[in-house]
A and B are shown apart, each in its own frame.
Chain A
Amino acid sequence: MIRQPQLEVKFRTDETGRYGDFGGRYVPETMMHALLELEQGFKEAITDPAFLNDYHKILHDYSGRPTPVTYCRRLSEAVGGAQIYLKREDLNHTGAHKINNAVGQALLAKRMGKKKLIAETGAGQHGVATATIAAYFGMPCKIFMGAVDVERQALNVFRMKLLGAEVVPVSSGNGTLKDAVNEVLRYWAAHIEDTAYIDGSAVGPHPYPMIVRDFQRIIGDEAREQILQQTGKLPDAAVACVGGGSNSIGLFTAFLDDPVQLYGAEAGGKGTDSGQHAATLTKGSVGIVHGMKTYLLQDASGQITEPYSISAGLDYPGIGPEHAYLFKTGRAIYQAITDDEALDALVRLSKLEGILPALESAHGLALAMKIAAKMKSAQSVLVCLSGRGDKDVRTVLHALKKDNSEGSDAQ
């Protein structure tokens, strides 16, 4: 089934790319031309049925969309509250939702006559998705990755190279994701003529948060239809994890005008009072980073601080501006989930349903389980299972071993 192209796309932003007070375009003048050109190109593409048809066809034929919605009978029983349903983005080609956006932006790049693709990556998932679509289209591709992450994610680095991409280690700053974002933007500013920057999350200067949302909203659009078909009604709550916030905004967008409570799970790391977390909305304050005004983790003089999470995909000091807006207006509720809570959810879903979620997605699941426990059995909770956990097996093994040894020490 190829879904009908959607012609009604809501632009909830004004000309300057604002979501309330958030968003905008805080970039050097050297980047403005590229952003204005991209905005124009995107607006034309997203209302062109031929473009949308290509996008949906590739996602269908190459990535296996639509992804199913799976009812979790045993998990729901164990939690003892609302019925839990998963939107299975883990079943996409490359194992996560990132491919939806990479396909859309790469198609847009081709349409706009760009010859090369560049992207940043933290854990490597968006890098892999971009390298994948670059291989599919036969386009040269450079992936910028913090030098520390290159060390930590050796397998994904090899995977990207295998796909034909060049991995550029970034040693500026702290050598992590935020520095990779800076470096890819710097590189882009110098190579805008023939190079498209494929932004991996719903962050950055306008129009990126809008573009990423519109290429990820397929998650929510499909899920809304599927859950209506399966249960005959809308879910009572929709839940997703939030780092930059691409899978969550993709899920939320379909339900914004519905009586559905929206929940985002941010990374609570070792606890929001530990100083080691990525709980941007719970603990952060308003500022400007990576071209957008949003909530971020910073010190009193406005220097960006390094976030922490067991899940590399949530390890980001800011958050997409539309989430900042949904948070400020109260339309969505955001809660921090700790490393331990996410690990526990990962183990339970594996044992009870035979599904190994990514550590990122396990944050969303942990929050969904908390919420579901307080709800009635006639109610339902829809969770975006944004990716599969194969990539995290080593981290999980290490973390569980540590937990066990700490446990026996205590006895």
Chain B
Amino acid sequence: MNRFEQYVQRDHDMLFIPFIVAGDPNEEATVDLALTMQASGARALELGIPYSDPLADGPVIQRASKRALAGGMTLRRAMRLVETMRQKGLNIPVVIFTYANPLLQLGLDTFFHEAAANGIDGLLVPDIPYEESHSLAQRCAQENICLISLVAPTTSDERLAKICASAQGFIYCVSSLGVTGVRKKFHPDIFPFLERVRRASSLPIAVGFGISSREQIVELKGVADGFIVGSAIVSEIEKRADPLKIAASRAATLDEIKQALLKKFGTQAETAVPTHHA
């Protein structure tokens, strides 16, 4: 049984899938943040690879990428951090979230070698849409890596059917047009969109882009199986970049972040019974 089958299931209540940027604010903090996410109820982790030209990302993740690049983070180094996370007790599946160019430059052979060696379970390349994905998807299938697909409210039924036919792990539903970043409310179109995705796939469906509050997660219950939180977590990290860098203050800071996330989203245990907090 692979880690996706174990942790990312439709019958689990509202899967929490956090996104952090590798190397933000430094390597040690990234490893500990991953473990903090697991302790906060994460059922999978998206590990973002910093990139100079992140087309799908808003200002918060752009800034995190810049910080991580300044520290010399690369795709290969990020992949090796996962092995350290595993040694320290990370059990949930890890998805590498990278733009196409760093992947192309590392080379697919090296990528899959490192993925197998470091306990990596999935890959998400936001700028490789379905049309460009065929050879990568084939290779991922051979190497037992889940290639996660994005779908958007503007994705036609015809494309949705094609994308879902080859999708693996979970379906990443982009909540709204534009880039990653915090938004207060969902566009009302999201609900018919999620129903379309549900009809097109039997995989768990998770909603990302703009998730920033418990209210949004409550709204998604019943129509989606999980939610992805990026910018809202990365901005908590940004606020505490300095104490996170230092070993002495890290543990207390991680606890603060855990509390902040708990307050913002509740962990999976709490979102299961949101009425307690109403």
Contacts and interface: CB of A to CB of B under 8 A. Distances in A.
Interface residues on A, range: 35 or more
Interface residues of B, number: 42
Interface string A30-56: 101110000000000000000000000
B179 interface: yes
Contacts of B95: none
B59 A30 contact: no
Given A190-B177, A289-B101, A30 B152 contact: yes
Given A172-B59, A189-B178, A287-B104, A33 B156 contact: yes
Interface in A156-208: 172-173, 178-179, 182, 185-187, 189-192
25 contacts: A16-B132, A26-B128, A28-B55, A28-B126, A28-B129, A29-B129, A29-B149, A30-B152, A30-B177, A32-B130, A32-B159, A34-B154, A173-B53, A182-B54, A190-B176, A287-B101, A287-B104, A287-B105, A288-B104, A291-B55, A300-B105, A302-B75, A302-B105, A304-B52, A304-B101
Contact of B102 (A16, A33, A191, A303): A303
Contacts of A186: 55-56, 58, 178-179
Interface of A: 16, 24-30, 32-34, 172-173, 178-179, 182, 185-187, 189-192, 286-291, 298, 300-304
A290 B156 contact: no
B179 to A, nearest CB: 5
SS class, residues of chain A in contact with chain B:
mixed
Contact of B52 (A173, A185, A191, A291): A173
Nearest to A35: B129
A25 B132 contact: yes
Sort A-B residue pairs by CB-CB distance and give the 3 closest, nearest first: A190-B178, A302-B105, A33-B154
Given A28-B126, A288-B101, A192 B55 contact: no
B46 to A, nearest CB: 15
Contacts of B58: 186
B109 interface: no
Interface of B: 51-56, 58-59, 62, 66, 69, 74-76, 99-106, 126-132, 149-152, 154-156, 159, 174, 176-179
B105 A16 contact: no
B132 A26 contact: yes
B177 A189 contact: yes
Nearest to A34: B154
A27 B55 CA distance: 8
A79 B142 CA distance: 61
Contacts of B56: 28, 30, 186, 189
A291 B127 contact: yes
Contacts of A288: 99-101, 104, 127
